[in-house]
Amino acid sequence: MKISTDGICTPSLRLIFRKTQPDTAMIDSDDSFEALFSAEEKTTVKKLTPGDRTTATVVGISGENIFLDVGAKSEGVVSAAEFTDDEGQLTVETGDRVDVYLLQAKGGEQFFTRSIGSGASAAHLEEAFRAAVPVEGHVRAEIKGGFEVTLGGNIRAFCPYSQMGLRRVEDAAAEYLDRRMTFLITRFENGGRNLVVSARALLEQERAEKREKLKKTLEEGQTVKGEISSIRDFGAFVDLGGVDGLIPVSEISWSRIDNVEDFFSVGQQVEVIVTSLDWDNERISLSFKAAQQDPWEEVAVTFPEESVVTGTVARLAPFGAFVTLAPGIDGLLHISRLGGGRRINHPQEVLEEGQNVEVKIEKIDLDNRRLSLAPLDYVSAESETAAELSEYRSYTAKKKPEKTVGSLGALLQAKISEKAAKSGKH
């Protein structure tokens, strides 16, 4: 890193000059001078030690140097080479905000770096080790226990498998080989001939910073996006960008889940709702299904009573068969409805999982989220009785009316008339 020494007022010096010269619009009275001195006294001096990371503002660019305002009385400087692309063009301009590390402070100047680059010597790497400044490395080869990493172009270092990332990967070689990564030097011995580095240490630092930000912004009931980081039998972990939350199996879907891996995959982007936060115990509970529409909200419209639908037998139980009519909507075919009129001991005698069946919606219980189903050929005892009664009424309605016996008075009158007729004949 080079600092201009040609006697020309560099941007850094011009910045200092501007800070010490009062605005002409503000020097019309003694009160203005008092205000300036008061403001100067209240200026917060940002104290940094080697290895500290900070966000600075680019205030000037001159040749090989970029000058930074880091909130301290003395400005900082960083090599312009650290902010150039492959074609040698600067990627920053005055006013931009950049993240840098303090490498060292000498003679009132503070020297910053984004990380120690490919041209670093063993001496620079030692400085980076003592100041905990990141270094750039090229993952060259997989060796016993980890990877060989080249620093500064030709200085070899070792990174254990466990220090390559935050999580274990199935194929480490495919994931890391021939990649350029950023590391922290965790061991510097024998003049740089024994170097151990860690990418995980940096990632953990970044994660801790993000976690502190999340603690201020994350709330229960909030909808957030994340990435599936790992899958377990009891649920799926989601990286929320600094902290992991758990989606329990019961909160994955409105329908039953037998295998979490059938529903999620590592790296998948998901939208979830925060159901509980426990920062003290590092527990964040999430719900995926709560972020989806509840299928039961429209079940009475989609599957009205007495309607006929086709479903799939999801599972069999001693008391009946569960039939999936739609994602998240299961109904029960009770064992008493099965068998076609004969008694059975288990639904497996007449049904099997995965079988498509045509059923009728007998009853909807929205409060308990239950659907009672029946096969199309099922006839209940009540229905049989009603059918028999209907048949009887139909039969009696069609019979010819027979003579009916009248009242007792009419009967006697008929007898008297009959006798009178016989007497007249004699």
- Residue 90 exposed, middle or buried by CB count within 10 Å (0-12, 13-18, 19+): middle
pLDDT at 75: 78
pLDDT at residue 5, rounded to an integer = 34
Q: CA triplet 148, 154, 156: central angle to 5 degrees?
A: 30
Taking only the tens of pLDDT, the chain with its 426 residues reads 443 333 333 333 333 333 334 444 444 444 554 554 454 444 455 677 777 778 889 999 888 889 998 875 667 888 888 888 878 888 889 999 988 888 777 777 888 888 777 666 777 788 888 888 888 899 999 999 999 999 876 889 999 999 999 888 889 999 999 999 999 999 998 888 899 999 999 999 888 888 888 888 899 999 999 999 889 999 999 999 888 999 999 999 887 787 898 889 988 999 999 999 998 888 999 999 988 888 888 888 888 888 898 988 988 889 988 988 888 888 898 988 887 778 888 988 888 888 898 888 888 888 888 889 988 877 665 555 555 566 556 655 665 555 544 555 666 666 667 766 666 555
Q: Are the C-beta atoms of 98 and 83 separated by less than 8 Å?
A: yes
Cα–Cα distances (Å) from 422 to 124, 410, 413, in that order, read 150, 19, 14
* Residue of 195, 127, 186, 182 lying closest to 155 (CA atoms): 195
Give the per-residue pLDDT at 380: 63
* pLDDT of the residue at 24: 40
> Of 225, 293, 197, whose CA–CA distance to 253 is shortest?
293
DSSP result, 253-276: -SS--S-GGGT--TT-EEEEEEEE
Q: Taking the model in full, what pTM does it have? A: 0.54
Return the pLDDT at 254: 82
Please check whether residue 222 is in contact with residue 152, taking contact to mean a CB–CB distance below 8 angstroms: no
pLDDT of residue 411: 61
Task: Please report the domains of the chain, with CATH numbers, ordered by start residue.
Answer: 11-23+43-113 (2.40.50.140), 122-203 (2.40.50.140), 219-291 (2.40.50.140), 295-381 (2.40.50.140)
Interatomic CA distance for residues 132 and 49, integer angstroms: 10
Q: Give me the residues paired with residue 417 across strands.
A: none
Question: How many residues make up the chain in this entry?
Answer: 426
Round to whole Å and give the CA distance between 62 and 389. Answer: 104
Give 338's contacts (C-beta < 8 A, 6+ positions apart): 320, 321, 344, 347, 350, 351, 375
Query: Which pLDDT belongs to residue 187?
Result: 93
Q: Contacts from 261-267 at CB under 8 Å and sequence distance 24+?
A: 261/231, 263/236, 264/228, 264/231, 264/236, 265/228, 265/231, 266/228, 266/229, 266/230, 266/231, 267/227, 267/228
